[in-house]
Amino acid sequence: MRIPIVNEQDEVIGYKDDRDHDYNPVRDIARTSALWLINEFGEALISKRSITKRFHPGLWGASVTGRIEGDETYEATIIREAKEELEIDLENINPWYKEFVQEEHTFWVQHFFATIPKSTKFTLQTSEVDEVKWISLQNLEHWFNKSPSDFSPPFKYSIRVIKNHANKS
């Protein structure tokens, strides 16, 4: 997989094969998309990463996430990933905001939101997702505060994103 490497202004400065990407936080900066699916009751769908994942196996995170490949846009990536990971077709996704994250990896992430019925059926791509569940923002925040180790490290940003979105919706 060929991924774009960007600078701190999110400008493409080159491409690398995923196997050659330097995940050291001060080296290669990648691009990622994150999608939050919200149902008619205001609950968020969270996904448990497959236990076979290279990074953060078995931990909870956003509904859908994915790294940008080739010349894809952030939006094209999240639509592709939603189809691959959950077998859903999204037509109306709303870009929220993009931020620069410096954690164990350094990356740009574009956050998206979409509203779908709670009754939506998902077919999980088991190499990516072990489980999904709907949860209220209040219960999610309580769980995260009580047991942050159940969640991928960047989830602390996600909790803020969901709260900001809920307060502005």
Question: How do the domains of the chain map onto residue ranges?
Answer: 2-168
Average pLDDT on 112-121 reads: 96
pLDDT digits (tens, 9 = 90+) for 130-167: 999 999 999 999 999 999 999 998 898 888 899 888 88
d(Cα 87, Cα 82) in Å, to the nearest integer? Answer: 6
CB 67 within 8 A of CB 77: yes
* Confidence tier at 106 by pLDDT (50, 70, 90): confident
Answer yes or no: is pLDDT of 40 > 60.
Answer: yes
Q: For residue 161, what is the DSSP state?
A: H
Answer yes or no: is pLDDT of 19 > 90.
Answer: no
Backbone phi, then psi, for 149, in 5-degree steps? -70, -10
Domain spanning 2-168, CATH architecture = Alpha-Beta Complex (3.90)
Global model pTM greater than 0.85: yes
Q: How many CA atoms lie within 13 A of 101 on its CB side?
A: 24
